[in-house]
A and B are shown apart, each in its own frame.
Chain A
Amino acid sequence: DAGVTQSPTHLIKTRGQHVTLRCSPISGHKSVSWYQQVLGQGPQFIFQYYEKEERGRGNFPDRFSARQFPNYSSELNVNALLLGDSALYLCASSLGRNSYEQYFGPGTRLTVT
């Protein structure tokens, strides 16, 4: 069975640009969460989506937004990129709203120059 997939795997952008990252959850999973991991730190929670609705949001600025589609895949958008946005962006899927075990995709490594 396919796990969580993310695209692209690597991305280089310049300051001020915007970026869209994509995630497909494990088949049958309806919840997707996004995390940012800066080198040397644990992942930081950005968003959780379930049934196409935002269910939770971490402490990130409004430049970060996301959405979930009817097939449960998800996009994370970041506008007006800053150097500090350089990180590994991880998507995690879980079975349903009350399932706490989350399974991560390989991530998208974003470099902002």
Chain B
Amino acid sequence: RKEVEQDPGPFNVPEGATVAFNCTYSNSASQSFFWYRQDCRKEPKLLMSVYSSGNEDGRFTAQLNRASQYISLLIRDSKLSDSATYLCVVLQDSGGGADGLTFGKGTHLIIQP
């Protein structure tokens, strides 16, 4: 079983719609969780950290369910500029990121006009 699993998509969504991605992780000792966004042939950019209580940043909402070991990302009122690959990222760590970030393969989102 892969450590971090995501549906690769692509998700084709009309502009203005709401879209949700889920991601599951296998290591119950995982401590920190993130969503990164990656545009074609560019570096990943931190979109948001994911907290147990859930957190929101503008049109983006992230949730963590530790019991079921999944993380979600909700994008409301999607824009053309939201088209990108969204990477689910988990840190299972003994201290200070020494185990590195574990990335899923990413979910490809295409917002259509």
Chain A residues touching B, range:
20 to 34
**Interface membership of B77, Cβ < 8 A:** no
Inter-subunit contact A107/B43 (CB<8 Å): yes
CA A31 – CA B42 in complex, angstroms?
A: 22
Cβ–Cβ < 8 Å partners of A99 in chain B: 96-97
Number of interface residues of B (CB under 8 A): 26
Inter-subunit contact B105/A40 (CB<8 Å): yes
Cβ–Cβ < 8 Å partners of B34 in chain A: 101
Inter-subunit contact A42/B87 (CB<8 Å): yes
**Interface membership of B32, Cβ < 8 A:** yes
Interface string of B20-51 (1 = CB under 8 A from A): 00000000000110100000001111100100
Binding site for A on B (CB under 8 A): 4, 31-32, 34, 42-46, 49, 87, 89, 91, 93, 95-106
